[in-house]
Amino acid sequence: MRVSRGILGFLVAAVCLLALSCSDDSDSLRPQPPGPLVYGSLLTPRVSMEADHLLADAYQHLGADRFSVAHLSLSWSGVASGPVLRRWGAFASHVRRALEEGTTLSVVLEIVHGGEADIPEWFRPEFPGWEDQDLKWELVRFLRELARRSQGTVGYLWLGEGADRYAASHEDEAEALRLFLAEIADSTRQIFPGAKVGTLITPSIVSENGQADFVRSLRGSLDLLGLSVFAADTVGGDADPGRSVAEVTAAIAPWSDRPFAILETGFPSTGLFGATEEQDQAAFASAIATWLRQRPGTLSLFCWAPLHDANSELSDSLARRRYPGDPAEQARFRALMGASGLRRNDGSMKPSRQIFYDERP
């Protein structure tokens, strides 16, 4: 029996379509093509949030530098200072400026920070444990209030900074923390529809503490994994632009099979980290721009940290919170925050700013 060309063509097309539908594209573990790369910058170190004119200046510089996301931290215990009392003033300033400038907020909600629980002191005389249902309900209630006050500006919400460090130093609580974060992530997606939910880790610390499996176990519950990869921290010695990019590449490799964001990365422009000067920071900015054009893995958000060099008071506060009880690491991080901005503390541009502006994709 002869088959017409039309019928034969239809059969071939049908077989091809079936083959495509059964191909590796159906494998949920396969990295999906990345969407548009979004750019942001860490704002917190630049400003004293009570000084509103500085905050306005920072948001205007975000727009001028083609950053659409402002990345900042919010302490649950710091805002919820009592059962009813809330201190929303600083966050309200960010929301107001974000609305005026059309900026999206990326907020790290500090449930854990620096490897310790960041639970409101008034809630329990002693930490009740991650299984406590009242603790979960209290956080959900806080998230609902945060959503209302954010007025739709929050596009990314990160549940804690340093859950990996907490799991390393509290091994008996690691599984309970994982379940807690997974449950809260589900609630957060309902409270902040459309926002990406993740957690913030430091790959070098994960490796040192052997917490890679713990972090991987979280990824099934989260939309994004947020990474903090500072060049000088990663290298551990004198900062070198070329070597630092290689170290950043190595640090993200274990996580790049799932959607992720680089939330904090930068390069110092001071001799405190070896021979680094502003021209070395500019070389790093150029190398990072080239690297970003290759779109490693499923990277969807890239934030430079910080937009401006930090003033001494604020960088000291950040260092003490990031590395509690470790004066050596505090000093290093304090110096890093005070010199890694694309702009100087007075707002003037460094050479790295123009290079990163011109060369990034």
For 295-306, write each residue's pLDDT tens digit.
877 999 999 988
141 vs 206: CA distance, rounded Å: 31
- Rounded to two decimals, the pTM is 0.85
60 part of a folded domain = yes
CA angle 269, 236, 177 (to 5 degrees): 110
The answer, yes or no, to whether residue 267 has pLDDT greater than 80, is yes
Quickly state the pLDDT bin for 36 (edges 50, 70, 90).
confident
Residue 6 resides in a domain: no
Q: Where are the beta strands (DSSP E) in 82-216?
A: 104-110, 112-113, 116-117, 154-161, 196-201
End-to-end CA gap in the chain: 58
pLDDT digits (tens, 9 = 90+) for 181-212: 999 999 999 999 999 999 999 887 787 777 88
Q: Contact at 8 Å (CB) between 112 and 55?
A: no
* Euclidean distance between CA atoms 226 and 198, whole angstroms: 6
Q: Is position 28 within any domain?
A: no
| Cα 224 to Cα 73: distance, rounded to the nearest angstrom | 17
CA atoms of 305 and 264, how far apart (whole Å): 5
For residue 102, being part of any structural domain is answered with yes
| Residue 253 belongs to domain with CATH number | 3.20.20.80
Radius of gyration of the chain (CA): 22
SS3 164: helix
pLDDT band at 8 (very low <50, low <70, confident <90, very high): very low
What span, in angstroms and rounded, lies between the C-alpha atoms of 168 and 152? 35
- Number of domains making up the chain: 1
238/103: higher pLDDT: 103
Range of the domain at 134: 33-359
Who has greater pLDDT, 11 or 322? 322
What is the pLDDT, as a whole number, of residue 34?
55
Q: Does residue 71 form part of some domain?
A: yes
Q: From residue 240, how far is each of 203, 326, 352, 356 by CA, in Å?
A: 19, 25, 15, 17
Task: Please report whether residue 20 resides in a domain.
Answer: no
Does residue 151 come out as left (phi exceeding 0), alpha (psi in the -120 to 50 range) or beta?
left
Contacts of 301 (CB under 8 A, 6+ apart): 37, 38, 39, 40, 69, 106, 156, 224, 261, 262, 263
- Is the residue at 192 inside a domain? yes
Give the span between the Cα atoms of 55 and 264, in whole angstroms: 19
Q: Does 225 score more than 60 pLDDT?
A: yes
Q: Rounded mean pLDDT of 266-275? A: 77
**Mean of pLDDT values over 19-47:** 59
Q: What digits encode the pLDDT tens for the residues 124-172?
A: 777 889 999 999 999 999 999 999 999 999 999 999 988 888 998 899 9
Q: Is the pLDDT of residue 9 over 80?
A: no
Confidence of residue 274 (pLDDT cuts 50, 70, 90): low
Residue 5 lies in a domain: no
Mean pLDDT over the full length of the chain? 83
